[in-house]
């Protein structure tokens, strides 16, 4: 490695500084002129695009169609659903002038689109035959952020938001769970190599206006939790607030039941924080803008460069995303360092010596040491290697999650563990908001989720010793 | 056809009413609560998504990467480039409050992103080795619209905007032309079956701040022009306004040369207005959300329905986008009418009688009559038919363009033709803004574009009789 290379801040001792430097040096994003907003740079956007397309495939495969609602809505539309406006009012941005004059009614930039969408669904829905309505949109939203952090908390972010309507409560809850499993958990597993704990939020942690919020909680490298996606069962509150009814099978008017569900560009932050190491990013192959980086050791040498081009073309033809780094003014050592920082899963080096033997040197980002491979059927072997890298990244992350999850029944031990940010703590919980608030007040850790199927009912709540009705997981969180 | 079916307004006698009704009844878009904004409904968004993906492939194939800049910028950033702020100031929307308090500096919603992007490029560009910078973004923009019309003029629209930086003027102009030909004209031809006239804008019609604007002008069904995409050569004005320099090959500091280029959701409107007929939409297969609609004539009959499912699965496996319309409460005649209105390229009907002979009835949206086809190798034949439909839609549109384009040298005849909105008029032009303004004042037609290679130099300008230096095309326009 070149002597001029600066090492990153220690991932062990200063995770936040490490994160900020990886985001900056890998060219993922930077702060924009407006405080709290970010520029998503090409390499960071490339990760998002790949994630987006693969998640969109799953959203469509589960029967949903995309649409697009405007980013501005009259303030009065947002105000119609009491919980929603109360939850989001402190974060909204307001347009008061447009087209050269002051507006009669201020317009708010969407912080989320339940309001603008449900104020329209009434026009689309007549009969039970129109149900379910299964729609999604990819959009930008604005929530004013006082403590911004690139990808994790930004005043504008990109996301998808699903908004569905159903005949029965059961169907709406089933939709929430289907999205949680078949869209979110599956994308996180198969695309992001990201294990996550699936569960329900407590009332205190729910989305404003939701009757139930389902969540996928992932563990980052520093053992904190990150909420990777949520899926909300909204009951018929939105239908009531916006006057949406349909003629049911019985011929009379009913309110439909709603869900909404979203996941955002913060998932790019999650990928960095889950898989990164002391040398920088490690990208799961399915979201790596370049899965294989080809580096000719003597790029000024035309036979080597020609061979590098031929190899890149062959790998591309096999469906691999390839970068040929043929810059002549950057030394090979600096390139190795740069592509390690940027997390490219595989690096292939070609030099005169190797080529004389019809070989190339192949380095996996996630493992030492590099190996010499024959050029024969290389594409096929690199494809297999990408699959292996994905599995090993997932397995390591799952091991990290298991290793840093502990069950507690003793209050003092629980508090100590959570205060130290040692990982996920699993306990029985009596269900009282007071016990939940007590733990949060003492540790600043939050109730991340409740098990979908409570274990060991009746076990004592570590706070009040009352009988547990839920299995709760607590952690420090992003 | 069912007796209850309402016919559309006449496409010949009231094109605007026909357009509005097709947009409404085909479920493409509708007006939102905020005046001038639109809800893009699932079927309309499906067209946009297909267009977007195929255009994005071409943007990447020509070496560009996507990124994302924030939708809000300080008003002072927009104000730095004089032409830009003058051009867009009357249309911007302004955020003055956010997060519960009044902002110190108002923020504008991007009407276009040259300003926010060029205020950042200085940080990304050090040396000539960093050039060219070839970037694009897909985003929503806001331009306050006083006379809105769905897809064609809306206060918020979706688009892509490319923003590139180059070492030399020649390279920047070559980029503009490459985008015009390899991205825009090719997408329009191969995806939208849309012939277009390529050319340059006159100074009066250029983008604010551009030295040259290249354009693709398409002819709609009513013989008006629609600007389908533009590509701007911006010189070094933006680099100067935002202080962007790099160290050149000679070791001294230089300003890079810029381009920007965009195309928007108005292309969905163009597809409707170019290919539609008296029965509604006719979608080019490459952007048809459903290329083949399968209609079981007796959907209550289980062998027929089973066969319909099997056929749909077979067509999908062949890569065809298929809708199986198995609604039992809608009669076949009403379905035929609906899918004609929605422009599905091919309709396949299955009934007991046909199935007894291993046949289906196939109706092309663009042609009479329907024909009986054997089930044997049907997917293959429908694929070929889709290709044919694309070619025929293109050929008809090209014929329409040729038939309604006339050359003029006589002023009175030119004026009469343009006032009547009879089509595109081609003339010599002396290049004077006064002659251009005279025609616009008399006819309300505009100079749509100047030929990339002027023909017949020296031929007299029909207004002043001075020697022509340009070949100009004039028309009424959207």
Of the partner residues A72, A129, A156, the one whose CB lies closest to the CB of residue B37: A72
In terms of CA atoms, which chain B residue is nearest residue A72?
B34
* Res B20 pLDDT > 70: yes
pLDDT digits (tens, 9 = 90+) for A46-100: 999 999 999 999 999 999 999 999 999 999 999 998 888 888 888 999 999 999 9
Average pLDDT over chain B, rounded to an integer:
96
- Give pLDDT tens digits for B33-51: 999 999 999 999 999 999 9
* Residue B4 pLDDT greater than 70, yes or no: no
Percentage of chain B exceeding pLDDT 70: 99
Residue A417: pLDDT band with limits 50, 70, 90:
very high
Share of chain A above pLDDT 90, in %: 92
Residue of A nearest to B33 (CA): A73
Q: Which of B34, B97, B99 sits opposite A96 (nearest CB)?
A: B97
Identify the weakest region by mean pLDDT among A26-30, A416-420, A452-456, B58-62: A452-456
Are the C-beta atoms of A274 and A396 separated by less than 8 Å? no
The per-residue DSSP string of A327-357 comes to -SSS-HHHHHHHHHHTT-SEEEEE-HHHHHT
Residue ranges of alpha helices (H) inside B125-236 are: 169-178, 186-190
Backbone angles phi, psi at B293, to 5 degrees: -105, 125
DSSP three-state, residue A446:
strand
| Average pLDDT of the segment spanning A326-332 | 94
Identify the residue among A60, A79, A94, A114 best suited for mutation to test binding to B, counting B beta carbons within 10 A and taking the highest: A94
ω before B464 within 30° of 0 (cis)?
no
Dihedral angle of Cα A413, A414, A415, A421, to the nearest 10 degrees? 110
pLDDT digits (tens, 9 = 90+) for A97-118: 999 999 999 999 999 999 999 9
Rounded Cα distance between A282 and A269, Å, is 12
pLDDT score of B1: 41
Residues B58/B286, Cβ–Cβ less than 8 Å: no
What's the rounded mean pLDDT across residues B73-91? 89
3-state class of A101 per DSSP? strand
Whole-number pLDDT of residue B367: 87
**Measured distance CA(A131)–CA(A125) in Å, rounded:** 8
Is A90 close to B107, i.e. CB distance below 8 A?
A: no
| B428 CB neighbour count, 10 Å cutoff | 26
Q: Give pLDDT tens digits for B227-237.
A: 999 999 999 99
- Partners of A91 on chain B (C-beta within 8 Å) are 99
**DSSP-assigned letters across all residues of A229-267:** EEEEEEETHHHHHTT--EE-TTSSEEPPEEEEEEEETHH
Residues 6+ apart with CB under 8 A from B50: B191, B286, B287, B288, B289
**Mutation to test the A interface, candidates B28, B30, B34, B44, most A Cβ within 10 Å:** B34
- Closest residue to B46, CB basis, from A45, A65, A95: A65
Residue B3: is its pLDDT beyond 70?
no
Q: Which of A206, A138, A235, A219 is nearest to A396 (CA)?
A: A219
Give me the pLDDT at residue B85, please.
Answer: 84
A73 contacts B34? CB cut-off 8 A: yes
Contact B176, B231 (CB under 8 A): yes
- The secondary structure of residue A387, as a DSSP letter, is H
Instruction: Please report the domains of chain B, with CATH numbers, ordered by start residue.
Output: 15-275 (3.30.930.10), 290-383 (3.40.50.800), 405-475 (3.30.110.30)
Interval B127-170: pLDDT, tens? 999 999 999 999 999 999 989 999 999 999 999 999 999 999 99
- pLDDT tens, residue by residue, B313-365: 999 999 999 999 999 999 999 999 999 999 999 999 999 988 899 999 999 99
Q: How does residue B291 score in pLDDT terms, banded at 50, 70 and 90?
A: very high
The reported pLDDT for the residue numbered A85 is 84
Tens-place pLDDT, residues B216-225: 999 999 999 9
pLDDT confidence of residue B83: 85
Distance, CA of A282 to CA of A273 (rounded, Å) = 10
B330-to-A299, B295, B298, B375 alpha-carbon distances in Å: 67, 11, 11, 25
Give the gap in angstroms from C-alpha A133 to the nearest C-alpha of chain B.
11
First-to-last CA distance in chain A? 34
Whether the per-residue pLDDT at B27 is higher than 90: the answer is: yes
How far apart are alpha carbons A22 and B477 in whole angstroms?
50
Give ipTM to 2 decimals.
0.96
Q: What is the pLDDT of residue A368?
A: 80
State pLDDT tens for residues A353-370: 888 999 999 999 998 889
Nearest chain A Cα distance for residue B90, angstroms: 5
Q: What is the pLDDT of residue A2?
A: 43
- Residues of A in Cβ contact (< 8 Å) with B325: none
- Per DSSP, which regions of B26-150 are E strands? 29-31, 38-40, 65-66, 72-74, 93-98, 101-109, 133-142
Reply yes or no on whether the pLDDT at B372 is more than 90.
yes
Model confidence at B82, in pLDDT bands (50, 70, 90)? confident
pLDDT in tens, A383-397: 999 999 999 999 999
Q: What mean pLDDT comes out for the span A247-265?
A: 98
Q: Which of A59, A98, A268 to mutate to test the interface with B (most CBs of B within 10 A)?
A: A98
Residues of chain B found within 8 Å of residue A71, distances taken between Cβ atoms: 71, 140, 142, 156
CB proximity list for B84: less than 8 A, separation 6 or greater: B78, B112, B114, B115, B208, B209
Q: List residues bridging with A164 in a β-sheet.
A: A134, A259
Of residues B273 and B457, the one with the higher pLDDT is B273
Q: Report the residue of chain B nearest A127, measured CA to CA.
A: B329
Please judge whether A68 and B123 are an interchain contact, meaning their C-beta atoms are less than 8 angstroms apart.
Answer: no
Residues B454-461: what's their mean pLDDT? 92
- Hey, are the CB atoms on B96 and A100 less than 8 Å from each other? no
B94 to A99: CB separation less than 8 angstroms, yes or no: no
Q: 């290049």: which residue's tokens?
A: B431
Predicted local confidence at residue B2, as pLDDT: 44
Predicted confidence at residue A1, as pLDDT, reads 41
A286-320 residue pLDDT tens: 999 999 999 999 878 789 999 999 999 999 999 99
């Amino acid at each position: 490695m070149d002597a001029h290379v600066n090492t990153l801040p220690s991932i062990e001792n200063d995770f936040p500084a490490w994160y900020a430097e990886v985001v900056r040096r890998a060219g993922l994003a930077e702060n924009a002129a407006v405080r709290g907003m970010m520029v998503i740079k090409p390499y960071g956007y490339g990760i998002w695009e790949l994630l987006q397309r693969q998640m969109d495939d799953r959203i469509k495969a589960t029967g949903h169609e995309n649409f697009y609602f405007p980013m501005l809505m009259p303030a009065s539309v947002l105000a119609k659903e009491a919980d929603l406006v109360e939850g989001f009012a402190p974060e909204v941005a307001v347009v008061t002038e447009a087209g050269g004059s002051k507006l009669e009614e201020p317009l708010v930039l969407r912080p989320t689109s339940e309001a603008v969408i449900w104020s329209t669904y009434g026009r689309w829905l007549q009969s039970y035959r129109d149900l379910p309505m299964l729609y999604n949109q990819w959009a930008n939203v604005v929530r004013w952020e006082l403590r911004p952090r690139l990808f994790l908390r930004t005043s504008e972010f990109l996301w998808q938001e699903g908004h569905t309507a159903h005949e029965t409560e059961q169907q709406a809850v089933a939709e929430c769970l289907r999205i949680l499993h078949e869209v979110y958990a599956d994308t996180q597993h198969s695309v992001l190599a990201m294990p996550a704990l699936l569960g329900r939020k407590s009332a205190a942690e729910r989305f404003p206006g939701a009757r139930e919020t389902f969540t996928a909680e992932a563990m980052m490298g520093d053992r904190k939790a990150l909420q990777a996606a949520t899926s909300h069962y909204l009951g018929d509150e939105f239908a009531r607030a916006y006057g949406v009814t349909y003629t049911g099978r019985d011929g009379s008017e009913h309110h439909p039941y709603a869900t909404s569900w979203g996941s955002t560009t913060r998932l790019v932050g999650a990928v960095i924080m889950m898989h990164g190491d002391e040398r920088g990013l490690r990208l799961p192959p399915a979201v790596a803008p370049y899965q294989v980086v080809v580096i000719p050791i003597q790029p000024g040498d035309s036979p080597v460069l020609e061979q590098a081009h031929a190899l890149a073309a062959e790998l591309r033809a096999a469906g691999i995303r390839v970068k040929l780094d043929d810059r002549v003014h950057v030394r090979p050592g600096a390139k190795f360092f740069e592509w390690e920082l940027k997390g490219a899963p595989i690096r292939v080096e070609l030099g005169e010596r190797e080529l004389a033997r019809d070989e190339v040197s192949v380095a996996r980002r996630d493992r030492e040491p590099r190996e010499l491979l024959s050029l024969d059927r290389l594409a096929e072997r690199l494809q297999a290697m990408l699959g292996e890298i994905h599995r090993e990244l997932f397995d390591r992350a799952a091991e990290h999650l298991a290793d840093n999850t502990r069950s507690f029944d003793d209050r003092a031990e629980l508090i100590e563990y959570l205060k130290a940010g040692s990982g996920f703590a699993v306990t029985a919980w009596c269900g009282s908001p007071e016990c939940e608030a007590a733990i949060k007040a003492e540790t600043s850790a939050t109730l991340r989720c409740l098990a979908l199927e409570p274990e060991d009912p009746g076990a004592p709540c570590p706070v009040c010793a009352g009988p547990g009705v839920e299995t709760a997981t607590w952690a420090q969180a992003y």
